[in-house]
Chains A and B, each alone.
Chain A
């Protein structure tokens, strides 16, 4: 081997002439001077603010990613129409993380170092947030997640990670538990995905229902990549009064259909689900008829309520969603309406934060975090179409209203709106005590 390759190597070496060396140098210099490789150093610039958008364009979170992308584009367009932030336009720099935690950390790094973004936002799946946030902290790079996970408020992450645009699971389930125990039943069987997000549901709902005098009698954890679900259903105890289900990923429709097949026309318990189990899925899909009369949590009602306020209608129109929660251009393309408002509201919080901090460039990142931490109430309106909210600067988590809807005529209609206080819980951490 070595006897045959050595002469070749020599040939290659001698082939480098002064000319090729100069060419290489020139090429390298050109590359280094190319836009995007130059760190942003200019102060008081009119250049656009670069907001890095970490999106699940592929992988198991793709349906959410598509809609998070559309909402982000719509929100950015609105902010720019209204004059941008501090007189500067915003530019969304999008990177796909494949709904993969390892790739997520790389995307954060790429947005910060290669694209020179001012901050990153938009991550949804909790395992990707867990994978990405530590890198954002190391890079001292503001990271606004839109994830629902309790990991922000639990204190597991860092001072650079905030969740000002969507409520967390702990708050959601605490707001749901009293209604469930009073209206549906006290013996609950939970079916949830077997990773961080599902565990949040398991732990906090068990705790919350126990506080209401109820009990979780069986906990059925399903691996996130599972594609067949019937096999889990015999574990539902016969004396179950309420099935509580929450599922995510490409298998959600199969999950709900098989649940329907399992109970068939026989007697079944009450069913309460998180709309996650049917996000981006049409309720009128054949096989889902059994959902008639069951209940869902919704972060924001998919079907436009008759008394929708002006800002809700405005938001729905700007993100291109019709009154049934589907895309205006394709009635089969159902939105992830209960979650995607989070991107819209997060961008408006970023705007408010940057304006309060007089944000000019990456040197002001700390000021931006402090400005957001100082926020308290957020009134409902065009910037907060889901409703009014309360932000807790210490835990970096926002609190808001929750909705319970019932399926009637293959549509969801709101039957209960939980107050902000219903979802409040004592602080578990104080990020403001952490140094920057």
Chain B
């Protein structure tokens, strides 16, 4: 294949990866930014989103788009409720202690994974794409659905940004992130903001998973890679910085796509990990993270 089309394919692949990664990493970053919690179970919320999407689409008959739209609504909702319950039952009781919550979310990771294994089973199951068309370039064909994923993800990220910057809820979240003590003094229900943020973080992961599940299949072990990449993105972008997270997701997603196509996926992972190491050495707070006082 010639260099031009080759680069086009690589960029498309990278953009799809970046789109889904940005959503997932945004959830992780939000939870850390507001609550100062490193949520190791984030990948499992992603997996749960995919599994529920499969479940919803197989219950809803008719055109695949119907089931998919239903999954788009139901799956994040259920995952959000599950995350809020986990926050109430586990994290709050640990007083959001940073170390204790890491261990607790590791536990949560296994609980969710094994629950999925024992109810959903160990198979990878496909979900039909809501739209079925192929873009035929002169050199290769490309799935039309994948192109839609990029658009859908951009719309959702825009929505998150609008909520954070232009609504009361967003203001409360930003206030809590800035200083929970003062926020409480201004009658912000910090407690409920925490539960809400944890749920929204998980819902973003679930949304990313619903988008990806017609491309990949729902499988109980699928949460591992998104977790790793989300951590890479969040560390590079700066924990808690939404701008940084999105930028880092684009960098990592695109470079992963392009390096994987031109060289090998292993090299792409190696370079991403190296980048994390450099960022940690020279800019420990990430590209856009707040400098510790």
Q: Chain A residues in contact with chain B, CB under 8 A?
A: 57-60, 62-63, 65-66, 223, 225-228, 230-231, 233-234, 238, 250-251, 253-254, 258, 261-266, 280, 285-287
Contact = CB atoms under 8 A, between A and B. Distances in A.
Nearest to B260: A231
A230 B216 contact: no
Contacts of A263: 140-141
B112 to A, nearest CB: 15
Contact of A261 (B6, B143, B216, B217): B143
- Scoring B121, B128, B140 by chain A CB atoms within 10 A of each residue's CB, the highest score goes to B140
B234 interface: no
Contact of B265 (A66, A226, A280): A226
Given A223-B265, A262-B140, A264-B136, A228 B216 contact: yes
B34 to A, nearest CB: 30
A265 B13 contact: no
Given A57-B122, A228-B17, A253-B126, A266 B216 contact: no
Interface string B246-269: 000000000001001100011000
28 contacts: A57-B122, A58-B117, A58-B122, A59-B221, A62-B123, A63-B123, A63-B124, A223-B266, A227-B216, A227-B222, A227-B225, A231-B10, A231-B265, A233-B140, A238-B1, A250-B123, A250-B217, A250-B221, A251-B124, A253-B126, A254-B216, A261-B142, A262-B141, A263-B140, A264-B136, A265-B141, A287-B129, A287-B132
Contacts of A58: 117, 122
Contacts of B219: 250
Nearest to A62: B122
B215 interface: yes
Contacts of B9: 230-231, 234
Contacts of A57: 122
B134 interface: yes
B265 A250 contact: no
A70 B60 CA distance: 30
Contacts of A226: 265
Nearest to A262: B140
Contacts of B215: 228, 254
Given A262-B140, A286-B128, A59 B122 contact: yes
A254 B217 contact: yes
A258 B214 CA distance: 12
Contacts of A227: 216, 222, 225
Nearest to A268: B141
A166 to B, nearest CB: 22
A165 to B, nearest CB: 23
B134 A261 contact: yes
Nearest to B140: A262
Contacts of A238: 1
B66 to A, nearest CB: 15
Contacts of A65: 122
A261 B135 CA distance: 9
Contact of A234 (B17, B121, B261, B265): B261
A228 B225 CA distance: 12
A206 B6 CA distance: 27
B209 to A, nearest CB: 12
Contacts of A265: 134, 136, 141
Contacts of B10: 231, 234
B62 to A, nearest CB: 14
Nearest to A57: B122
Nearest to B114: A58
Contacts of B221: 59-60, 250
